Chain A
Amino acid sequence: MAAVANFDNIFVRYDLVGEVEAKGARVASKNPALQRVMQCVVEGDTDNIVDAVNEALKVADPLEVINEALVKGMNEVSRLWDEGEYYLPQAIIASDAMLMGLEICEKKMGQSLEKKGVVITHTAEGDIHDLGQKIVNALLRANGYEVIDLGKDVPVDEVVAAVKKYKPVMLTGTALMTTTMTAFERISNRLRKEGIELPFVCGGGAVSLEYVSGFDLGIWGKDASQAPGMAQDAVNGLSWQQMREKWNA
């Protein structure tokens, strides 16, 4: 076999251009117990988060553990992800750790932390590819939203009924195939008929901006990582038209 001595004119490894030098987490707490909790979140250490939170609760109240360790740790994870140091798996396992910690704190408080808002998520009827939805769920929960997860292959009627029941700030739909995403338009039509208006973020696989912009309520979600930002806009009262303008224009 002949050998190629120089690949430079065949392809360019752009992934190695400007490679991010790992600098690690920036946050620190003077309280060693809170620092340990934060570290568990930043490192996605689900093996030790329970122990770390229980230790922290001996020296701090649950709200302090939540705000000064769990939330701060998660914010730092978001920064590391935004800056290219972390990949999606690091963000997901960090959110796993964060949510485990949060559950312990909520138990201790005797009540759930007030959520920023309710978001309903589902994967379209006929579609069993729900990984994108699961990522959206994890990111929304880690950012303080209550997620009503309707699951996969969800009939249009069920989605409409859930919106009427839970009155979410935002609805999301995931589909891999173009022949299943057509359910989104049917959902939109049904909601409009019922006089319901809310942002309906649709994304996944072959779902396109052109398609989602073709029906009322629809906002195209390019990437799961956009979900918390979109939910925040919905909580802040942006209409679906304003959100479409902001995220899709």
Chain B
Amino acid sequence: MPKFDKMAYASADEMIFGQAKSPVKYGRDFTVGGGYVFPELVPHPRPGTEATKKSLMKEYEKMVTDVLDRCVAIGIPGIQVELEHVYQMTKNPDWGGEIAAQTKHLMEEYYRKFGLRSAIRATIADYRKPDEEDIRSSVALETILKAFEESAVGGADNLSIESVGGKEISDYCIVRQDIRGVLFGIGVLGSRDMEFMWKKIVEIAQKHGATPGGDTNCAQANVAMFMAGGYQDRSVPHTFAALTRAIAAARSLVAYEQGAKGPSKDCGYEDVIVKAITGIPIAMEGKASACAHSDLVGNLIAACCDLWSNEAVEYHDMFGGTTSAVFTEILGYDVALMNTSIELGTAKQLQEMMVYSDKYRDMHGFILSPENAYEIGKAIVENNTSYYSRAKAAALKAGELMMNDSQLKMSKFERESLQNALRILDGLPDKEEDFISECIDIYKKLVPGFNPANYGL
């Protein structure tokens, strides 16, 4: 059940990068949200190196060493490295555990020699298949939980996941522009699955002295956003993807209601809304994640970040060094600029520039600009009677904001898509139980393998 009923911040104006109401401290003298922004580098192994534990460990050893070396080379004060599991690291929990231990060992060495502050996030791969198995009692679930354990034992400071509950419904509905199904898949099923998963993750983290980090709606809202793509893509309307993002905020919030402390996961673009509600520190990714995918929020999304990430960069050589080193440098200078503005007392001006760079570039940037994100957050906490009601309220508020800002331009097709979605949302039942009952009837017929029992329904 929803817990948050008020905003952590009195207004959007209070929100700024580098500072969170509830900072998190872990790792080697590493504080997130305590006044300054740090980079979070996510290295990704080359294809083929995942074939054996030995070759994968060697790849990670090289990648992480390059990251730490570049930090020392150009004077980056501290860094978080995300070990974002390739599925072999989760399916073989000892692999993930040993890579975490190896990374910790390297970081301790650099801390001892140079005083480089650091931390490790382990993000476990959620490879459950909601349309094919009992996701509340499966080998995949057991293995995932074991992977959390082993990573924490190995030395991961932060435990995170990109959970996939409700994806079978949202996948079906995103490509059919079915907002009702997206609300059901993400807002209701996704939230219920997160409640189930995060109880377990928090318990494991507490047992091993790790910090339960956060979740992201990568599997759903990012699907919509990436399919919406750039200006010339015609896979999903951008207005529809923005509504999906607002719904995702109500869903990603559940991790923190179950005890996660943050910092959140970098690809959770909805996290600026989550920060406004919870006060937890957030990791964000924008222009420096172009190595992994393109988006239309390159600068704006840094406006309230506490960690600044690159999403994932595959390990290769470049003129300026390996990609791990190069992207560490890019992130390092980005955060140096942010931290300089904090020192100079000009952080709000820099934030303003970030926001205006992208606020009207696309609908996603528009709803995630701090003042609009804050309004969506308010709609969520003011409608916290059920997962359904708050997710619906988030979407309706995002739609209202998009419709009423004359500076946000959109094509006739985009506007009609938005109006159509808002009309459908307006006509949905008031009560969660009625909505769930209606959706189970509809999607059991349409989505092969959909099993309400996977969500306690």
By a beta-carbon cutoff of 8 Å, the part of chain A in contact with chain B is 1-2, 4, 7, 10-11, 13-16, 19-20, 22, 81, 84, 86-90, 92-93, 96, 126-131, 134-135, 151-153, 177-182, 206, 211
How would you classify the secondary structure of chain A's contact residues: helix, strand, loop or mixed? loop
Give every chain A residue within 8 A of B25 (Cβ-Cβ).
none
Output the least CB separation between B421 and chain A (Å): 11
Closest residue of chain B to A125, judged by CB? Answer: B87
Any A CB within 8 A of the CB of B437:
no
Stretch among B14-22, B45-53, B105-113 lining the A interface: B45-53
Any A CB within 8 A of the CB of B234:
yes
Give every chain A residue within 8 A of B412 (Cβ-Cβ).
19, 22
Closest residue of chain B to A20, judged by CB? Answer: B413
In the complex, are the beta carbons of B132 and A151 less than 8 A apart?
Answer: yes
User: A205 vs B171: C-alpha distance in the bound complex, in angstroms?
Assistant: 15
In the complex, are the beta carbons of A131 and B171 less than 8 A apart?
Answer: yes
The residue from A1, A89, A129, A179 contacting B352, defined by CB atoms under 8 A apart = A1
Closest residue of chain A to B171, judged by CB? Answer: A131
How many residue pairs link A and B with beta carbons under 8 A? The number is 100
Output the least CB separation between A231 and chain B (Å): 20
Give every chain B residue within 8 A of A96 (Cβ-Cβ).
176
Give every chain B residue within 8 A of A127 (Cβ-Cβ).
87
Query: What are the 5 closest A-B residue pairs judged by CB atoms, nearest first?
Result: A15-B231, A89-B177, A126-B87, A179-B86, A88-B235
By a beta-carbon cutoff of 8 Å, the part of chain B in contact with chain A is 44-51, 86-88, 91, 127-129, 132, 164, 171-172, 174-177, 219, 223, 227, 231-232, 234-238, 314, 352, 356-358, 360-361, 409, 411-413
In the complex, are the beta carbons of B129 and A152 less than 8 A apart?
Answer: yes
In the complex, are the beta carbons of A178 and B46 less than 8 A apart?
Answer: yes
In the complex, are the beta carbons of B175 and A84 less than 8 A apart?
Answer: no
How would you classify the secondary structure of chain B's contact residues: helix, strand, loop or mixed? loop
In the complex, are the beta carbons of B413 and A22 less than 8 A apart?
Answer: yes
In the complex, are the beta carbons of B87 and A180 less than 8 A apart?
Answer: yes
Output the least CB separation between A123 and chain B (Å): 11
In the complex, are the beta carbons of B352 and A126 less than 8 A apart?
Answer: no
- Further pairs besides A2-B352, A93-B176, A126-B88: 13, Cβ < 8 Å: A11-B357, A87-B177, A88-B236, A89-B236, A126-B127, A128-B128, A128-B164, A130-B171, A131-B223, A177-B86, A179-B50, A181-B47, A182-B50
In the complex, are the beta carbons of B360 and A7 less than 8 A apart?
Answer: yes
Closest residue of chain B to A177, judged by CB? Answer: B86
A-B pairs with beta carbons under 8 Å apart, 30 shown: A1-B352, A11-B361, A13-B231, A13-B361, A13-B409, A14-B231, A14-B232, A15-B232, A19-B411, A20-B413, A87-B235, A87-B413, A88-B227, A88-B234, A89-B236, A92-B176, A93-B176, A93-B177, A96-B176, A126-B88, A126-B91, A131-B174, A131-B175, A152-B129, A177-B86, A179-B45, A179-B49, A179-B86, A182-B47, A182-B51
Give every chain A residue within 8 A of B357 (Cβ-Cβ).
10-11
In the complex, are the beta carbons of B48 and A182 less than 8 A apart?
Answer: yes
In the complex, are the beta carbons of B411 and A10 less than 8 A apart?
Answer: no
In the complex, are the beta carbons of A179 and B176 less than 8 A apart?
Answer: no
User: A84 vs B232: C-alpha distance in the bound complex, in angstroms?
Assistant: 9
Give every chain B residue within 8 A of A130 (Cβ-Cβ).
171
Output the least CB separation between B22 and chain A (Å): 26
In the complex, are the beta carbons of B236 and A179 less than 8 A apart?
Answer: no
In the complex, are the beta carbons of A179 and B88 less than 8 A apart?
Answer: yes
User: A152 vs B449: C-alpha distance in the bound complex, in angstroms?
Assistant: 13
Give every chain A residue within 8 A of B88 (Cβ-Cβ).
126, 179
Output the least CB separation between A126 and chain B (Å): 4
In the complex, are the beta carbons of B127 and A134 less than 8 A apart?
Answer: no
In the complex, are the beta carbons of B411 and A15 less than 8 A apart?
Answer: yes
Closest residue of chain B to A4, judged by CB? Answer: B356
Give every chain A residue within 8 A of B177 (Cβ-Cβ).
87, 89-90, 93
User: A14 vs B411: C-alpha distance in the bound complex, in angstroms?
Assistant: 11
User: A57 vs B412: C-alpha distance in the bound complex, in angstroms?
Assistant: 37
The residue from A16, A93, A177 contacting B409, defined by CB atoms under 8 A apart = A16
Closest residue of chain B to A127, judged by CB? Answer: B87
User: A4 vs B47: C-alpha distance in the bound complex, in angstroms?
Assistant: 45
Closest residue of chain B to A19, judged by CB? Answer: B411
The residue from B44, B174, B223, B232 contacting A178, defined by CB atoms under 8 A apart = B44
Give every chain A residue within 8 A of B132 (Cβ-Cβ).
151
Give every chain A residue within 8 A of B87 (Cβ-Cβ).
126-127, 177, 179-180
In the complex, are the beta carbons of B47 and A153 less than 8 A apart?
Answer: no
Give every chain A residue within 8 A of B46 (Cβ-Cβ).
178
Give every chain B residue within 8 A of A181 (Cβ-Cβ).
47
Give every chain B residue within 8 A of A90 (Cβ-Cβ).
177
**Known contacts being A14-B232, A93-B176, is A87 close to B237, with CB within 8 Å?**
yes
Closest residue of chain B to A10, judged by CB? Answer: B357
Give every chain A residue within 8 A of B48 (Cβ-Cβ).
182
In the complex, are the beta carbons of A178 and B47 less than 8 A apart?
Answer: yes
User: A182 vs B234: C-alpha distance in the bound complex, in angstroms?
Assistant: 29
In the complex, are the beta carbons of B235 and A178 less than 8 A apart?
Answer: no
Closest residue of chain A to B226, judged by CB? Answer: A205
Give every chain B residue within 8 A of A92 (Cβ-Cβ).
175-176
From A2, A130, A131, A206, residue with most partner B Cβ within 10 Å: A131
Give every chain A residue within 8 A of B358 (Cβ-Cβ).
11
In the complex, are the beta carbons of A128 and B127 less than 8 A apart?
Answer: yes
Give every chain B residue within 8 A of A131 (Cβ-Cβ).
171, 174-175, 223
Closest residue of chain B to A224, judged by CB? Answer: B235
From A88, A131, A179, residue with most partner B Cβ within 10 Å: A179
Output the least CB separation between A159 and chain B (Å): 17
Output the least CB separation between B52 and chain A (Å): 13
